[in-house]
């Protein structure tokens, strides 16, 4: 009997996901159905496969969506996180397992009882971050505990970056994920974490000036700024008594300081719209955030406002984005500052077809064993192939695909709304990821605890 895997949404992170399922389709007796608002954008290499059907699916059309879910053996939602709930409710109604790569929302969490009652696995946070970060962390934490060790410190950082061979701008950055998420990163609350037993809070306006540094062998130095809420994984990871718990986003050194210029100017604000944004030049957009002067140019006003000199690298980074161009126009009507900034950045930071991205993940585990404090540092680096087969799509899509097959084959069967922190989930998936070149290098290093010298004031 043919088993149907329904994938809803076929965006940037699905190339490896779709490829994995189709390569397994014959031996596993699978048929892949891809529902997307624009199926014509799905690469022909997938849609022309005999075991694949692509069709138009409007997620807001209840009839279409329910029909697609009801006919599937298992459902993967690659939609924006806020839309998973519609699919999840259908999965409860038609008794289908569900897999997403997104953070568990309160609405989804509320379906836990129904999922358990119906014996359904609702696996979430099974991509890269969240996903591989959970699984790789729990593998080491469980190993430490199995030896009788007590966790003292856990730090985890992930970055979606441009590969060194494709790094061609002063920001050392190009988009590998949803650009909107990059522009809005850190907004909507303070960053919360715990350091040496003390709670710490960083407001948005200071987030990009409080960075921690780390070195990845063979790839140099990186910086990281704090994620919004590191504390929510204390219970999930069983780290209620840990002294330090810190999760962050990695960038190349210097990015955060430069990004702070946009924060200071107000360009990352998404809370209001600019009345005459359509047809506005990049230069006019910049001038919106600067004081009036009858004599000073936009360039001079900006340098005074940000207190940067003409020979400062920060100035070079702004020039590189063509921010003062009179001829480049914004085509967006009634756009927020953040939307305009995103458009300008996409004009400069989009990967070219042949260019490669890079995923970097870094964990630090501090623990006590037999009265001695120890530390394990672990890192993972994955380089993409090109703009379609990116490291981002590989590290997001493969764990989703592997979990789907494990659930479909009954190897992962604990019901309920969950994340991949149980050994029955992470052990087989981490093992299989190694065969795809996704694995961690571990180093035993002297225990340092939290190093305050590594944080910029």
Q: Inform me whether the pLDDT recorded for 301 exceeds 90.
A: yes
The percentage of residues in the chain with a pLDDT greater than 90, rounded to a whole number, is 86
The percentage of residues in the chain with a pLDDT greater than 70, rounded to a whole number, is 98
pTM: 0.90
Q: Inform me whether the pLDDT recorded for 451 exceeds 80.
A: no
Note whether 7 and 59 are within 8 A (CB).
no
Q: Inform me whether the pLDDT recorded for 290 exceeds 80.
A: yes
Residue showing tokens 């190993």? 143
Fold (topology level) of 3-123: Rossmann fold (3.40.50)
**Is 132-258+353-454 in the same CATH topology as 3-123?**
no
Q: Inform me whether the pLDDT recorded for 457 exceeds 60.
A: no
Q: Inform me whether the pLDDT recorded for 237 exceeds 90.
A: yes
Report the pLDDT value the prediction gives residue 75, as an integer from 0 to 100. Answer: 97
- For 207-261, the DSSP string reads HTTSEEEEEETTTEEEEEEE-SBSGGGHHHHT-TT-SEEEEEEEEETTHHHHHHH
Report the pLDDT value the prediction gives residue 452, as an integer from 0 to 100. Answer: 47
Fold (topology level) of 132-258+353-454: Dihydrodipicolinate Reductase; domain 2 (3.30.360)
Average pLDDT over residues 145-160: 96
* Pairing between β-strand 52-56 and β-strand 30-36 as defined by DSSP bridges: parallel
Report the pLDDT value the prediction gives residue 132, as an integer from 0 to 100. Answer: 97
**Of 364, 366, 391, which Cα lies nearest the Cα of 378?**
364
Instruction: Work out the burial of residue 284: count CB atoms within 10 Å of its CB; fewer than 13 is exposed, 13-18 middle, 19 or more buried.
Output: middle
Q: Inform me whether the pLDDT recorded for 19 exceeds 60.
A: yes
Distance CA 101, CA 109 (A): 15
Distance CA 323, CA 284 (A): 9
pLDDT in tens, 190-218: 999 999 999 999 999 999 999 999 999 99
Sheet with 121-123, strands from edge to edge, namely 52-56, 30-36, 3-8, 74-77, 97-100, 121-123, 416-418
User: Which sequence spans correspond to the domains of the chain?
Assistant: 3-123, 132-258+353-454
Report the pLDDT value the prediction gives residue 450, as an integer from 0 to 100. Answer: 55
**Of 337, 435, 382, which Cα lies nearest the Cα of 128?**
382
Residue 81 corresponds to which tokens in the numbers above? Answer: 């996180």
What's the longest Cα–Cα distance across the chain? 77
Question: Could you tell me which residues come within 8 angstroms of residue 374 by beta carbon, excluding any fewer than 6 positions away?
Answer: 149, 366, 367, 368, 444, 447
**Of 360, 438, 424, which Cα lies nearest the Cα of 156?**
360
Average pLDDT over residues 349-376: 95
- For 69-107, the DSSP string reads HHT-SEEEE-S-GGGHHHHHHHHHHHT-EEEESSPPPHH
pLDDT in tens, 372-415: 999 999 999 999 999 889 999 999 999 999 999 999 999 999 99
Residue showing tokens 């989804």? 108
Q: Inform me whether the pLDDT recorded for 454 exceeds 60.
A: no
Average pLDDT over residues 336-365: 96
Q: Inform me whether the pLDDT recorded for 136 exceeds 60.
A: yes
pLDDT in tens, 302-319: 999 999 998 899 999 999
């Amino acid at each position: 009997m043919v088993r149907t895997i329904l994938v809803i949404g076929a965006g940037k992170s699905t190339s490896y996901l779709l490829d994995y399922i189709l390569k397994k389709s014959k031996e596993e007796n699978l048929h892949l159905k891809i529902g997307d608002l624009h199926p014509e954008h799905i690469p022909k290499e997938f849609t022309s496969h005999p075991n694949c059907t692509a069709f138009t699916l409007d997620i807001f059309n209840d009839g279409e969506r329910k029909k697609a879910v009801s006919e599937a053996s298992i459902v993967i939602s690659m939609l924006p996180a806020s839309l998973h709930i519609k699919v999840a409710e259908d999965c409860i109604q038609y008794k289908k397992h569900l897999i997403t790569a997104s953070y568990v929302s309160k609405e989804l969490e509320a379906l836990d009882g129904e999922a358990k009652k119906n014996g359904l696995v609702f696996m979430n946070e099974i991509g890269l971050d969240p996903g591989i970060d959970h699984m790789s962390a729990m593998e080491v934490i469980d190993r430490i505990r199995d030896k009788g060790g007590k966790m003292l410190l856990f730090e985890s950082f992930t970055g979606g970056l441009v590969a060194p061979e494709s790094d061609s701008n002063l920001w050392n950055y190009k988009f590998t994920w949803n650009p909107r998420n990059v522009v809005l990163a850190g907004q909507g609350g303070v960053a919360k974490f715990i350091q040496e037993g003390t709670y710490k809070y960083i407001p948005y306006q200071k987030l990009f000036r409080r960075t921690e540094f780390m070195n990845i062998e063979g790839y140099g130095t990186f910086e990281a700024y704090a994620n919004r809420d590191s504390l929510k994984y204390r219970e999930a990871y069983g780290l209620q008594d840990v002294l330090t718990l810190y999760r962050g986003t990695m960038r190349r050194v210097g990015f955060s300081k430069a990004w702070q210029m946009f924060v200071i100017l107000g360009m990352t604000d998404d809370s209001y719209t600019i009345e005459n944004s359509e047809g506005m030049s990049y230069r006019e957009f910049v001038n919106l955030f600067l004081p009036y002067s009858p004599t000073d140019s936009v360039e001079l006003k900006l340098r005074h406002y940000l207190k940067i000199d003409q020979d400062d690298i920060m100035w070079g980074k702004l020039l590189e984005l063509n921010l003062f161009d009179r001829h480049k126009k914004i085509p967006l009507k009634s756009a927020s500052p953040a939307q305009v900034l995103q458009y300008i950045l996409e004009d400069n930071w989009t990967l070219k077809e042949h260019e490669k991205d890079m995923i970097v993940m870094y964990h630090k585990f501090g623990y006590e064993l037999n009265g001695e404090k120890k530390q394990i540092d672990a890192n993972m680096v994955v380089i993409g192939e090109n703009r379609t087969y990116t490291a981002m799509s590989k590290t997001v899509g493969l764990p989703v695909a592997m979990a789907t097959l494990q659930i479909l084959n009954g190897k992962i069967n604990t019901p309920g709304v969950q994340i991949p922190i149980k050994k029955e989930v992470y052990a087989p998936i981490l093992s299989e990821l190694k065969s795809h070149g996704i694995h961690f290098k571990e180093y035993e290093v002297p225990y340092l605890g939290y190093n305050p010298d590594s944080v910029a004031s």
